[in-house]
Amino acid sequence: MAKKVKDPGVGKSSNRYAKRFINQDGSFNIKHVNRPSSLSESYNYLISISWTKFFLWVILGYTLINSLFAIIYTFLGISNITESTGDVFKDFLNAFFFSAQTITTVGYGAMAPKGVIFGIISSFEALIGLLSFSFITGLLYGRFSKPRANIRFSSSVVVRKHNGMDCIMFRLMSRSANVMIRPKIEATLALSQEDKGKKFVNNFFSLKLERNSITYLPTTWTVVHPIDELSPLKKIDREELQNLKGEILILASYYDESFAQEVHQVHSYVLKNLKIDQRFVPAFHYDDEGHTILDHNNLDKTFASKSS
């Protein structure tokens, strides 16, 4: 008989319209309000976002700083840097290019500040440039050195007969060519149910897995939860599983040689997305020379499987 477990940390309160706890990208589905901000959060944000967003922020910051100083140089008189063209926009561009040379400490020599005021401003801008590039260098190091799991979960979770009983299955693999060392899985079922007081609460059950750890993972790992006497889903027909307001919360961890430490990743599947009587397409095969060929495109693919 299945036994309830304590709240894993997501909260027991629920309601009829509550959404999933964990998004498909592995982030927790929480909206923060009235949260105080700090500079350290900016650092965490910049080392966590995608590379595209990161470089867009760098380009935006670089453009804004140079534009600000270009406006100052133009307002105070572009003639203190180079000869005025008589066109405000062209003078602004010359000031912008001078600012870019100053902030990067390139200094081609075609333009140079004249007078104490412009010397002070350009020196201050050079200092800002040194600090900014030091900060960006630290961010680049932080992005490369931050330990992060590189697990790819299948988008599909299936229910089919396995060893004579219904089983829930999903699979995972490494996104890179690195082999996962001692990967392990913890799976918890969260069911939002209405109690006697007509209030919705979350009940949690630890899901027994056929195997919750392996020694290493060079290819794929199909994780299996048998719906046996110890499963909280034992008394529920497979056709009714999709109607449950439930979510399988997953914590995966393994030792990563690149970071020389254990890394973790969370994921989840909602029961309404279960695929009944589906089987995963094999993701690897052997070529004529005996090499194992792993096809990453097959991780999510399934096909109809006859119930037995």
| Per-residue pLDDT at 1 | 58
50 is written with which tokens?
A: 């995608």
**What is the percentage of the chain residues whose pLDDT exceeds 90?**
56
CA distance 157 to 159: 7
Range scoring the smallest mean pLDDT among 36-50, 172-186, 285-299:
36-50
pLDDT score of 254: 95
Rounded Cα–Cα distance for residues 292 and 74 (Å): 65
Pairing of strands 157-162, 165-174: antiparallel
142 contacts 43 by C-beta, under 8 angstroms:
yes
- Name the residue among 71, 157, 151, 81 with its Cα closest to residue 113: 81
Q: How many residues does the chain have?
A: 308
Q: What is the pLDDT of residue 307?
A: 56
For residue 78, give every residue at least 6 positions away whose Cβ sits within 8 Å of its Cβ, in sequence order, or none.
84, 91, 94, 95
Which candidate, 7, 4, 13, places its Cα nearest to that of 201?
A: 13
Q: Let me know: does 181 contact 304? Beta carbons within 8 Å.
A: no
Q: State residue 128's pLDDT score.
A: 94
The answer to whether 147 and 256 are in contact (CB under 8 A) is: yes
Q: In the block, which residue shows the tokens 């599947």?
A: 269
CATH fold label, 148-304: Immunoglobulin-like (2.60.40)
User: What confidence score (pLDDT) does residue 105 get?
Assistant: 86
- pLDDT tops 80 at residue 37: no
- Is the pLDDT at 179 greater than 60? The verdict is yes
**Assigned token pair, 266:** 């969370």
Closest by CA position to 73, among listed 84, 62, 58, 86: 84
Residue 308, pLDDT > 70, answer: no
Q: What region does 115 belong to: left with phi over 0, alpha with psi -120 to 50, or beta?
A: left
- Residue 15: the pLDDT is 81
**Range among 56-60, 196-200, 254-258, 284-288 with highest mean pLDDT value:** 56-60
Packing angle, helices 88-103 and 115-145, rounded to 10? 60
- Structure-token pair, residue 302: 């399934």
Per residue in 116-153, pLDDT tens?
A: 999 999 999 999 999 999 999 999 999 888 888 889 99
Question: What is residue 59's DSSP assignment?
Answer: H
User: Can you give the pLDDT at residue 31?
Assistant: 84
Q: With beta carbons less than 8 A apart as the criterion, state whether 286 and 298 touch.
A: no
Domains 39-145 and 148-304 share a fold: no
pLDDT of residue 115: 87
pTM for the model: 0.79
Q: Mean per-residue pLDDT for 164-179?
A: 91
- In the chain, pLDDT over 70 holds for what percent of residues? 98
Q: What is the pLDDT of residue 40?
A: 73
Tell me, what's the pLDDT at 242?
85
* Segments making up each domain of the chain, as ranges: 39-145, 148-304
Mean pLDDT, residues 94-100 taken together: 93
Please tell me the CATH code under which domain 39-145 is placed: 1.10.287.70
CB 168, CB 234: distance < 8 Å? no
